[in-house]
Chains A and B, each alone.
Chain A
């Protein structure tokens, strides 16, 4: 009886915990979905799976079908509001520092500054790309099961 009880409890707890940890996106950016003057786009794994069948097999420099298959979610946050831009940039800096992201690329041009960060977590990898332009700031977060080699392939034309 005790065995059945403990087994049931353990199974239920595992199911519960797995449902809680199934979050695919970077949670810090979720709050921007409710903010004014912010465009927030979220594409889930389910939608990416559906979209995988519709995408062009390959776009120059990238195997789209392969890339779609490795993604768990995409978050895109864009804002033109001065206050939100400052907040978003600070948020990115915090996340990068706290979660120990690695900087992959820094591209500074006249009117834009692009930073690409990468984190290879135990459960999933994250690519965070922030673009700061004169009138707009945007952050794109890709979460998935890709490796640094997959990113390297993106640069091979």
Chain B
């Protein structure tokens, strides 16, 4: 019985569909609707693309940040952990020995500076003597 009903309905729908189609065809289509719709669709498409790109852009930022951080840390660690040049390692472990060596070096410097000053003073004294003799002779001549 149900099957028969469905078949009857199918039979009745067909002319209705035809009427609807005809009615729709009779409605006037506004001018430029197609262009406007296309433009709108393009606009939505572009907006969806921007939205899709945004997370990618952020991801690039994070990657750049992480990469530069790793690079800087890597360089820092390289220099920090690299075997130190022997020339920068303390020769003495005992501060007492280091103290004696430093004291000797400073005393040697002071001794040499004083030697130089003594030579300079000796030359200066000779020069003053010569100047005095010259002045005396000049006074005699005058």
Please provide the chain A residues from 31 to 73 with a CB less than 8 Å away from any CB of chain B in the complex: 31-34, 40-44, 46-48, 50-56, 59, 61-62, 64, 67-68, 71
Give the nearest-CB partner of B85 in chain A.
Answer: A30
Bound: A75/B103 CA distance, A: 13
Bound: A61/B96 CA distance, A: 21
B110's partner among A42, A74, A155 (CB-CB below 8 A) is A155
Determine if B72 is an interface residue (Cβ-Cβ < 8 Å). Answer: yes
Query: Given contacts A30-B87, A31-B87, are A54 and B95 in contact (CB under 8 A)?
Result: yes
Complex contact B110–A129 (CB within 8 A): no
B87's partner among A12, A40, A109 (CB-CB below 8 A) is A40
Complex contact B92–A155 (CB within 8 A): no
Determine if A151 is an interface residue (Cβ-Cβ < 8 Å). Answer: yes
A55's partner among B92, B99, B119 (CB-CB below 8 A) is B99
Determine if B138 is an interface residue (Cβ-Cβ < 8 Å). Answer: no
B contact residues, total (Cβ < 8 Å): 38
CB of B6 to closest CB in A, whole Å = 63
CB of B96 to closest CB in A, whole Å = 6
Bound: A114/B101 CA distance, A: 19
Determine if A95 is an interface residue (Cβ-Cβ < 8 Å). Answer: no
Complex contact A51–B102 (CB within 8 A): yes
Give the nearest-CB partner of B86 in chain A.
Answer: A33
Residues of B within 8 A of A13 (CB): 72
A contact residues, total (Cβ < 8 Å): 61
Query: Given contacts A62-B110, A107-B116, A142-B109, are A43 and B76 in contact (CB under 8 A)?
Result: no
Going nearest first, the 10 A-B pairs with the smallest beta carbon separation are A30-B87, A51-B99, A105-B116, A50-B95, A33-B87, A33-B86, A154-B110, A54-B99, A47-B98, A12-B72
A residues with a Cβ closer than 8 A to B are: 1-2, 5, 8-9, 12-13, 15-16, 19-20, 23, 25, 27, 29-34, 40-44, 46-48, 50-56, 59, 61-62, 64, 67-68, 71, 74-76, 104-107, 109, 114, 116, 127, 129, 131, 140, 142, 151, 154-155, 157
Q: Provide 28 A-B residue pairs closer than 8 Å at the C-beta atoms, listed in order of the A residue.
A: A9-B69, A12-B69, A12-B72, A13-B72, A19-B79, A23-B88, A25-B88, A29-B87, A40-B86, A40-B91, A41-B92, A42-B89, A42-B90, A43-B91, A46-B90, A47-B92, A51-B102, A61-B110, A61-B114, A62-B110, A74-B101, A107-B115, A107-B119, A116-B116, A129-B108, A140-B108, A142-B106, A155-B110
